[in-house]
């Protein structure tokens, strides 16, 4: 749940694991690691903080994150995720609000040329 520790990125790439990132510095670490290991396109997932207030990229940081992704030729954005604060309460208004923020983040990524094939949000269904 806390991601990875700095210094583990080359092992993660070498082992073929797919990390979740939410900061530009993490993307830069994996770009260097993939290049160093000799991997041409290592997959990463981007986590967006849609309102839970824990790990995840703030929506206002997404343009900068997209710029760093564009300058990372050894990485590919494979997934986009978020974590909902009250996913177990289906009629909780915050769930709809968080899903709206997540949809807006996905649209911003698309407008920047990214369309990750794996889109996932932690939501409980009956």
pTM, 2 dp:
0.89
SS (H, E, C) the chain: CCCCCCCCHHHHHHCCCCCEECCHHHHHHHHHHHHHHCCCCEEEEEEECCCCCCCCECHHHHHHHHHHHHCCCCEEEEEEEEECCCCCCCCCHHHHHHHHHHHHHHHHHHHCCCCCCEEEEECCCC
Q: What is the pLDDT of residues 61-87, one digit of tens each?
A: 999 999 999 999 999 999 999 988 765
Q: What is the pLDDT of residues 84-101, one digit of tens each?
A: 876 566 666 788 889 899
């Amino acid at each position: 749940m806390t991601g990875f520790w700095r210094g583990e990125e080359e092992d993660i790439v070498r082992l073929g694991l797919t990390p979740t990132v939410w900061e530009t510095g993490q993307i830069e670490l994996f770009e260097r690691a993939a290049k160093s290991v000799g991997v041409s396109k290592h997959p990463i997932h981007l986590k967006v903080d849609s309102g839970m207030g824990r790990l995840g990229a703030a929506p206002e940081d997404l343009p900068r994150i997209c710029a760093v992704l564009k300058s990372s030729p050894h990485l590919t954005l494979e997934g986009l995720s978020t974590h909902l604060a009250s996913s177990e309460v289906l009629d909780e208004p915050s769930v709809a609000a968080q899903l709206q923020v997540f949809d807006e983040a996905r649209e911003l990524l698309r407008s920047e040329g990214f369309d990750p094939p794996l889109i996932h949000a932690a939501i409980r269904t009956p």
